[in-house]
Amino acid sequence: MSEDLQKKLQSELTSFKTVQKELQKAISTRQQLDGQLNENEIVKTELNILPADGKVFKSVGPVLIKTELVEAKENVSKRIDYINKELNKVDGLIGTLEKKQDAHRESLQKYQQQLQQAQVKAALHS
């Protein structure tokens, strides 16, 4: 009984650690997306204060290419929309992973209690 509980506990602990790693990766991804969103919001603000005949250049590899202001604004808006969609996906993933982590934590506590009870019983019977 005690060995079986220890195997279950170890398996649950492994699953818990896996979910923790996935959660950390998702949080890191979210932070990167947040940074990208902030950068693009700043670019959008800068583009909005440019006069209609303002010059805009975009970096393509090592070269700067002249771009129309309207096109630049559209590209930035599309990028912001895309980043927001990705943020929503990552937020959903984080929520799911947090629930999984909580479930594993509860199972770990249950197995630890059962193992402790089994050890106490074994000590009383010996």
| Interval 80-90: pLDDT, tens | 999 999 999 99
Q: What is the pLDDT of residues 45-73, one digit of tens each?
A: 999 999 988 899 999 999 999 999 999 99
pLDDT (0 to 100) of residue 126:
66
- 66 φ/ψ angles, rounded to the nearest 5 degrees: -65, 135
pLDDT (0 to 100) of residue 125:
78
Q: Of 101, 109, 102, 105, which is closest to residue 5 (Cα–Cα)?
A: 109
| Segments making up each domain of the chain, as ranges | 2-125
Q: Of 71, 42, 40, which is closest to residue 56 (Cα–Cα)?
A: 71
Lowest mean pLDDT among 6-15, 29-38, 42-51: 6-15
Residue 1, pLDDT > 70, answer no
pLDDT, mean over the chain? 93
CATH class in words for 2-125 = mainly alpha
- C-beta of residue 54 within 8 angstroms of C-beta of residue 111: no
